[in-house]
Amino acid sequence: MFNSHSVKIGFSFGITSAVITTLGLMVGLNASTNSKLVVIGGILIIAISDSLSDALGVHISEESEGHHTSRDIWESTIYTFLTKLFFALIFVVPILLLGLQVAIVVNIIIGALLIIFLSYFISRNQKTKTWGVIIEHILIATIVIILTHYIGTWVRVTFG
């Protein structure tokens, strides 16, 4: 039913973007507001708006390549949207069940595990060194988390 290119594009892009974007937003909003309401609201908003935005970006990118069928393009678009939406919304669950600070740590662990598993399968598929791919992807996620934490702290100190 779905071709493997469409699934790979939508799934890998959707998971990566959901994890990095949602963790960055959560950490930044937490550092600036320390508000469960604001963090949950931010996740829900980003889950919808960024999922649609990224799906459109994948759609246009696939169209611009000029060698994909209309069906392939739409499959990539839909897979990107649904994957990103689902994985972004996963991060709401710990916040609903736990205290905000504990939930942020749990979500960082969940996000890191998702990136590690995805990186593992990518490296195996490409027959490259697994640890190199994992370290590269985790390093980028860590940089995003650190930067957004400090930006959130700066916002709180400057405007709070």
Domain-by-domain residue ranges, the chain? 4-159
DSSP letter at 27 equals H
Q: Which of 72, 67, 80 is nearest to 3 (CA)?
A: 72
Given a cut of 50, whether residue 84 has pLDDT beyond it is: yes
Read off the pLDDT band of 3 (50, 70, 90). Answer: low
Q: What is the mean pLDDT of residues 41-67?
A: 91
| H-helix segments, the chain | 4-33, 36-65, 70-90, 92-97, 100-126, 130-159
Cα gap 49→66, rounded to integer Å:
27
Given a cut of 90, whether residue 45 has pLDDT beyond it is: yes
Cα gap 77→80, rounded to integer Å:
5
Given a cut of 60, whether residue 160 has pLDDT beyond it is: yes
Q: Note the pLDDT of residue 14.
A: 86
Given a cut of 70, whether residue 1 has pLDDT beyond it is: no
To the nearest 10 degrees (0 to 180), the angle between helices 4-33 and 100-126 is 150
Given a cut of 90, whether residue 113 has pLDDT beyond it is: yes
N- to C-terminal Cα separation, the chain? 52
pTM of the complete model? 0.90
Given a cut of 60, whether residue 156 has pLDDT beyond it is: yes
Given a cut of 60, whether residue 91 has pLDDT beyond it is: yes
| CB of 30 closer than 8 Å to CB of 39 | yes
Tokens describing residue 54:
């990224």
| Cβ burial 64-93 (10 Å sphere, 16+ → b, else e) | eeeebeeebbebbbbbbbebbbebbbbbbe
Q: What is the mean pLDDT of residues 37-41?
A: 97
Q: Which of 70, 77, 85 is nearest to 22 (CA)?
A: 85
Mean pLDDT lowest among 10-14, 51-55, 77-81: 10-14
Given a cut of 70, whether residue 152 has pLDDT beyond it is: yes
Q: What is the mean pLDDT of residues 102-118?
A: 96
Given a cut of 70, whether residue 2 has pLDDT beyond it is: no
